Amino acid sequence: MIRAFLYWTGGVIFTIFFAVIFYLMTPFYRKYPGFPHGIIRIWSKALVRVFYGVKVSLYGKEFIDQSSNYIIVSNHRSYTDILFASAAIPLQFRWLAKSSLFRIPVFGAAMRIAGYVSIERTKYKSASRSLEQVKAVLEKGESSVWIFPEGTRTPKRVLGNFKRGAFVLARETGKPLLPVVLINTDTLFVRPWVIKPKNVKVIVKPPLRYTDFRAAHTDDREAERRLMTHLRELLQEEYNSHATNTS
């Protein structure tokens, strides 16, 4: 409990310090749009390693081409997934995140400055506008986009049903999907104030392209379904082979 309290206190002070730096650097972001995510990545790496005492191991880095931009898709286990993914993946990327996160004071404003995209999952028109924003980011070619195809956290071992958004984007933009599996992000906090450090694994798999699933005489919806099914099975199999959580 004492160690967790010190971790939390130190983490909060460190976060406030980085928030000040983040906002002071705002005038430079228009000229250097990659700066916000770079600062967030440094903050994430320091927070998880120094203050939470968690080791983050990245596997499959060889599948990441720094000159490409991707639609990054992963399982979603915990509210800390964004933190660990930002710390581990050496790419410029923007999050497609639920709109409620953007209403958090300071944090939400930082997400907007960093170019992250808000989505209201229950409203069709809002979701469509968000996907158009993501499409524009991808077509600009300067950043990847991270999407949780389950749409929400799934605390059980079996992945939830996938939404179509990432797969529609793969078809419309021609950008490859980069599968990522997050392991143990949901097992660190026994209780809100009790941290049980574990080795968090971030596993990258080879990219997938929509065209590889667009066989002759196959319409777009069928190709999307094939790609979605394949990706879900891939993430589930990889998660099953590495997860230590038995819930």
**Mean of the per-residue pLDDT values of the chain:** 85
Read off the pLDDT of residues 91-108 as tens digits, 9 standing for 90 and up. Answer: 999 988 777 778 877 777
Residue 123 has pLDDT above 70, yes or no: no
Q: Classify 106 as helix, strand or coil.
A: coil
Alpha-helical (H) ranges within 47-123 are 81-88, 107-113
Read off the pLDDT of residues 162-216 as tens digits, 9 standing for 90 and up. Answer: 999 899 999 999 999 999 999 998 887 777 667 777 789 999 999 999 998 887 5
Domain ranges of the chain: 55-242
Report CA-CA distances (Å) from 185 to 52, 107, 174, 228: 12, 20, 31, 23
Residue 245 has pLDDT above 60, yes or no: no
C-beta separation of 144 from 70 below 8 A: yes
Q: What is the side-by-side order of every strand in the sheet holding 71-74?
A: 55-59, 199-204, 177-183, 71-74, 144-147, 93-98, 117-119
Read off the pLDDT of residues 46-84 as tens digits, 9 standing for 90 and up. Answer: 888 887 788 899 999 999 999 999 999 999 988 889 889
Q: Which CATH class for the 55-242 domain?
A: alpha beta
State the pairing for strand pair 71-74/144-147.
parallel
C-beta separation of 72 from 147 below 8 A: yes
